[in-house]
Amino acid sequence: MRVMALVRRILKQIVRDKRTMLLLIMAPILVLTMLHLVFNGDSYSPKVGVVDLPTSLVEQLDDHEATINLYETTNEAKTALKERDIDGYVSMSGTTLQLTLEGSDPTINGETMKWLQEALKSLQPDSSSTMLKVNYLHGSSEMSQFDSFGPVLLGFFIFFFVFLIAGVSFLRERTTGTLERLLCSPLRKWEIVVGYVVGFGIFTMIQATIIASYAIYVLGMMMEGAFIYVLVITLLLSLTALTLGVLLSAFTNNELQMIQFIPLVIVPQIFFSGLFNLETISDYLSWIGPLTPLYYGADALRNVMIRGYGWGEISFDLLMLAGFSLLFMVLNILALKKYRSI
């Protein structure tokens, strides 16, 4: 009978905690739906440029499933490639066909090569592959899946752990009453938020340096750009995670509820971080990507680590991350109004 009393008590507790109950049911449904939409998206059709090829050949290529853009010169095509308007371009050098790939995503590289080989096969059944020469703008044929995912995962893990730790530690501040104690001192609300940002900022700078160095120098993750950019990106990304974690901790009462935010706030970001091809994601979901911080962090990290780009290409991503942090900080200050109105 004591067991039944226990069972009754536990059931009551679950029913009282509506959000835990809701999460137990809704979170798996949500994640499964997203996985379904992500993986059952359209198959990828490459976007290919052609430079000054015989008309018959162009017509032949156009019959196959791909978007074809025409370019007059190789330079024009190269610019389009850099802008990532196209995945690769086909040009003729002497008698050999040349395929130049953007190269930062092995999946797209493979898809584009497969497409070209298919298209050429119908044209010249036997000699297609021997005549084809493949160049890479970034990366190489040796680039592994890990090199491509690496920067995204690096950003993700830093984001995830900073989010959780900052959120929980601010939560502790509330549950142990020290936050209330802080608000009984002349400390201003923005000082509390800034204090957290700076304190954790210093810590995350160290964290980011260690993790990034380990990934690049120990695991041998591809690294084309400057290390300092990686640090700046990860620092801004962790500030976003920190301020978001602190903000969301205002809506939780214990550590468990903080963890409940992981499937709602963290996991969906993975889908839009570039780990999966963004263009094949269902239209019902694709609008979410630009609303998530990891989208920008991962893009910037890939630009630096795989493509070797610098300030010019990553500044927009960095600005977006800074904007997110700033927004979350302001919201944090507003959330503290609950405890003290001035």
Partner 1 sequence: MNPIVQMEQVTKHFGKQEVLKGISLDINEGEIFGLLGPSGAGKTTLVKQLVGLELPSTGKNKVFSILMPSLEVISKIGYMAQSDALYGELTARENLQFFASLYGLSGARQKERIQACMEIVQLTDHIDKQVSNYSGGMKRRLSLAIALIHEPKLLILDEPTVGIDPVLRKSIWDSFYELKKQGVTIIVTTHVMDEAEKCDRLGMIRDGHLIAVGTPVSLKESMNSTSLEDAFLSYGGAN
Instruction: Give residues in contact with partner 1 (CB under 8 A).
Output: 176-178, 180-188, 339-342
Q: Smallest Cα–Cα separation from 86: which of 98, 76, 73?
A: 76
Nearer to partner 1, 43 or 185 (CB): 185
Nearer to partner 1, 145 or 176 (CB): 176
Contacts of 284 (CB under 8 A, 6+ apart): 37
Q: Smallest Cα–Cα separation from 261: which of 164, 154, 158?
A: 164
Nearer to partner 1, 65 or 180 (CB): 180
Q: What is the nearest approach in angstroms of partner 1 to the Cβ of residue 20?
A: 22
Nearer to partner 1, 146 or 339 (CB): 339
Q: What is the nearest approach in angstroms of partner 1 to the Cβ of residue 195?
A: 10
d(CA 159, CA 245): 10
Q: What is the nearest approach in angstroms of partner 1 to the Cβ of residue 197?
A: 17
| SS3 state of residue 68 | strand
Nearer to partner 1, 28 or 195 (CB): 195
d(CA 31, CA 27): 6
Q: What is the nearest approach in angstroms of partner 1 to the Cβ of residue 186?
A: 4
Contacts of 105 (CB under 8 A, 6+ apart): 148, 277
CA dihedral 257, 260, 265, 268 (to 10 degrees): 180
- 330: tokens are 């302001």
The label of the residue with tokens 């700078």 reads: 205
| SS3 state of residue 48 | strand
Nearer to partner 1, 80 or 183 (CB): 183
- 47: tokens are 């976007």
Contacts of 31 (CB under 8 A, 6+ apart): 263, 267
Q: What is the nearest approach in angstroms of partner 1 to the Cβ of residue 185?
A: 4
Nearer to partner 1, 64 or 174 (CB): 174
User: Cβ(112)–Cβ(96) under 8 Å?
Assistant: no
Residue 209: half-sphere exposure toward Cβ, Cα within 13 Å: 6
d(CA 89, CA 72): 12
Q: What is the nearest approach in angstroms of partner 1 to the Cβ of residue 164?
A: 18
Q: What is the nearest approach in angstroms of partner 1 to the Cβ of residue 188?
A: 7
Nearer to partner 1, 218 or 342 (CB): 342
Q: What is the nearest approach in angstroms of partner 1 to the Cβ of residue 235?
A: 25
Q: What is the nearest approach in angstroms of partner 1 to the Cβ of residue 249?
A: 17
Nearer to partner 1, 31 or 182 (CB): 182
User: Cβ(265)–Cβ(244) under 8 Å?
Assistant: yes
d(CA 99, CA 88): 7
- 304: tokens are 């630096």
Distance of CA 261 to the CA centre of its chain: 18
